[in-house]
Structure 1
Amino acid sequence: MNDTITIVGTIGTDPERKVRGGVPITTFRVASKERRFDKASGAWVDGETNWYTASAYRRLADHVYESLHRRERVILTGRLKVRNWDTGEKRGTSVDIDIDAIGHDLLFGTTAFRSDDARSDESGSAAPAEEWATTSSDGGWDVAEQSASSSASPALPSPAVEPAQPREPELVGAETPF
């Protein structure tokens, strides 16, 4: 089985970083608890908790290791892998997720993003080259590369925006049962 899945849950173990064959890997366990409305009692009730082993690779592994911690709420999407295992003495099923994307669950707190893009300026905002398409004199389209720091096309004036004040990343939020 290799399906795409999205999980909303709580990190249950400290992320652990390894390197295999030169590839960084960060793994941790995540708990996702079912919540449902019980019509009989008229209240929300907790259901079963599903546990997954989540793994991130390469650049994402480094970012996960530096950014996420035990007891933090996250939303992640990735490829689900369900495998049966047998050691001779014990048998079980392993449910793993190879992470494609992950971030803090902002329903439970706030966080600040810090880009590590080499093209970022000191404030942390990316300044990639942008392509602007304009019509040429013969009616065709010309594509000109323009950096974000140069002036925009006269037809598309850039808005006057004050740069955001940098601040320390933080996670403020609800307590979890772990």
Structure 2
Amino acid sequence: MDAVLELSGNVGTEVETKVTRGGWPTASFRVACTPRQRRGGEWGDAETIWLTVTCFRGLAENVASSVSKGDPVLVNGRLRLSSWEDEHGERRERLVLEATTVGPDLTRGTSTFRRSERPVVEDETDEAYRELILSVEQEPEPAAAVAG
């Protein structure tokens, strides 16, 4: 079962982009979430929670060209545990939000949406049929049979 999470916060780092070994684009950034709490009759900031957000494929490309440090964002995704060994051989772990959607927090500003252009992918089968049709159309007409 996935732990699905929705968060609202500010982008705390510049977006870092990479390409996976399989050739897919990735993007990651940190989000700061600072909840407001009422203490002694006064409102104040609670402790800031930092979370790493990762994005893949088309979402990664769109995030890289749309999101900047300081932007208020809304992020939906699945919570994952990332683990690795540091340079001293010690095991390290970090919670990462694998984003399914990222967008501006419109309660804190305005935005203009621009649809991404998707590349047209031709089906190889279509190309094979196209070549076959062209070759048939370019063949000379057979000579008419002479009736005797």
Looking at secondary structure, tell me which structure has more helix per residue: 2
How many residue pairs end up in the alignment?
116
Larger Rg: 2
1:84 is displaced (CA, Å) by 5.5
Aligned mates of 2:64, 2:106 — CA distance in 1: 19
| Higher relative contact order (CA closer than 8 Å, sequence separation 6+) | 2
1:113 aligns with 2:113: yes
Letter paired with 1:64 = V
Deviation track 1:134-171 (CA, whole Å, cap 9, x = no partner) reads xxxxxxxxxxxxxxxxxxxxxxxxxxxxxxxxxxxxxx
Taking the aligned partners of 1:19 and 1:92, their CA distance within structure 2 comes to 23
Quote the residue 1:101 is aligned against.
Answer: 101
Spell out the pairing of 1:25-174 with structure 2 (5 A cutoff): 25-38=26-39, 40=40, 42-83=41-82, 87=86, 88=88, 92-117=92-117
Q: CA deviation at 1:33?
A: 1.1
- CA distance 1:69–1:117, shift in 2 (3 Å): same
Matches of 1:67 and 1:102 in 2, distance apart?
A: 10
Q: Percent identity?
A: 34
Which blocks of at least 5 consecutive residues in structure 2 are unaligned? 119-148
Give the superposed CA RMSD: 2.0
Q: Could you tell me which amino acid in structure 1 is paired with residue 69 of structure 2? A: R
In structure 2, give the amino acid aligned to 1:62.
E
- What's the CA shift for 1:82? 3.2
Letter of the 1:45 counterpart: G
Report the Cα offset of residue 2 of structure 1: 3.9
**Misfit runs of 4+, over 4 Å:** 83-86, 88-92
Unmatched segments (≥5 aa) in structure 1: 119-178
Q: Which residue is 2:23 aligned to? A: 22
